[in-house]
Structure formats: structure tokens, C-alpha cells
Amino acid sequence: MRQQRAVLVLLVTAAVAACSGMESLSPGPTSDKQGGGSSHGDDTAVVTGPSRPPTPPPDIVPSFALSGVISGHEPGTDTTRIVPLANATVTLVKVGDVTGDTLMPSVTVASTTTDAQGAYRLANLAPAYYRVDVSAPTGSPYLDAVGGIGPARETEVTLSIALARKP
């Protein structure tokens, strides 16, 4: 056991020393050799991927509505018992465009509050990848939740989320 530990410590020490910058890499990547020319020695650049962004699938709708019901799990061992949750906040955050390219930073598109039956609706949404953030009402016994949807293929999309109870 001690011998294995000694070998592991030796390997870790060697790896740290190799990465500590005590010696330069050979050949090191450069953009201009000694400031005197465009020769790059053994540097190699590999460029891959499409030259233009991929087009979205043809069955994606140009605009859609997102609706659903936010519920909360009832206490007890029966995990199927849920109740509609009024005054929960539903926030739609665009995280990627329709081709799948990630947005940095993501963009909050819309926000609404659930009605007395826990229902919500967000309309006139552009096709994209969205994160759906659900915030439980202040003082409720429920945890916040997160869901997600991709580009819609129907004009009406339903996403219902049940919030777990706080421990």
C-alpha cells in the first residue's frame, strides 16, 4: 500500500513539474517566429466544420405559444398527489438559436405568473432552444425547478412542471 502511494506521489510530482513552466515546450506554438517572418515551424492549424450554419429542419413553426400548469407535490408517500400552484413565476430564457448555436449570454424572453389554477401561457415565441425557470411563490413549501424545450414543431406546446417539496 505504501509503495503504491509513493509511486502515485512520484507521478503527481512529475506531472506538476512538467506543467509548471520550468522548461519551454518544444516546438512551442508561435504566431511569428522571433518577430521576423511568417514561418511557423511545425505549427499546424486544422479547420473543420461546415462553412455556413446548418439550416433548421423544415417542420419548425415560425411562431408558437407555450402553456401548461405548475403544480406542487403534496406531502406523504404518494408521489402522484399534486396540487395546482398559484403565483409561481415562469421565466422563459433563450439559450440557443434554432440551429442549436448557444447564446452567450442567454436572453430572458418572457416571464409570467401562474393563475389560481396554476396555469400559465406565453405566446408569440420565436423558434429556439429555451430554458424554462419556475420559481415557487415566496414562503411556499416548494423548491424551484427548471425545464427546457427545443424549436417547436407545433403552434401550441404544453409543458407542465411539478415542483418538489423542500426537505
What amino acid occupies position 165?
R
**Residue bearing the bigger pLDDT, 156 or 30:** 156
47 domain-assigned: no
Please check whether residue 38 lies inside any domain of the structure: no
Tell me whether residue 140 is in a domain: yes
Average pLDDT over residues 65-75: 96
Burial class (CB in 10 A: 0-12, 13-18, 19+), 67: middle
pLDDT of 99: 84
The pTM for the full model equals 0.66
- Residue 84 has, within 13 A of its CA and on its CB side, a CA count of 12
In this structure, is residue 138 part of a structural domain?
A: yes
Q: Is residue 142 scored above 80 in pLDDT?
A: yes
Domain holding 93, by residue range, is: 64-163
Residue 96's pLDDT band (cuts 50, 70, 90) = very high
Assigned C-alpha cell, 51: 462553412
Residue 39 counted as domain residue: no
Q: Would you state the pLDDT for residue 76? A: 87
CB 142 within 8 A of CB 163: yes
Q: Are 165 and 73 in contact (CB under 8 A)?
A: yes
**Cα angle: 96, vertex 101, 107; to 5 degrees:** 30
To the nearest 10°, the Cα dihedral for 159, 163, 164, 167?
150
| Mean pLDDT in residue range 149-161 | 95
In a domain, 10, yes or no: no
At residue 42, the pLDDT reads 62
Residue 110 is part of a domain; what is its CATH number? 2.60.40.10
Residue 79: its pLDDT value, please? Answer: 83
Does 1 have pLDDT greater than 80? no
Cis peptide before 137 (omega within 30 of 0): no
> What total of structural domains would you count in the chain?
1
pLDDT mean across residues, the chain: 79
Q: Please report whether residue 130 resides in a domain.
A: yes
Q: Is residue 56 part of a domain?
A: no
**What proportion of the chain, given as a percentage, has pLDDT over 90?**
56
Express as a percent the part of the chain with pLDDT over 70: 66
**Residue 66: its pLDDT value, please?**
97
Find the mean pLDDT for residues 130-157.
96
The pLDDT of residue 82 is above 80 = yes
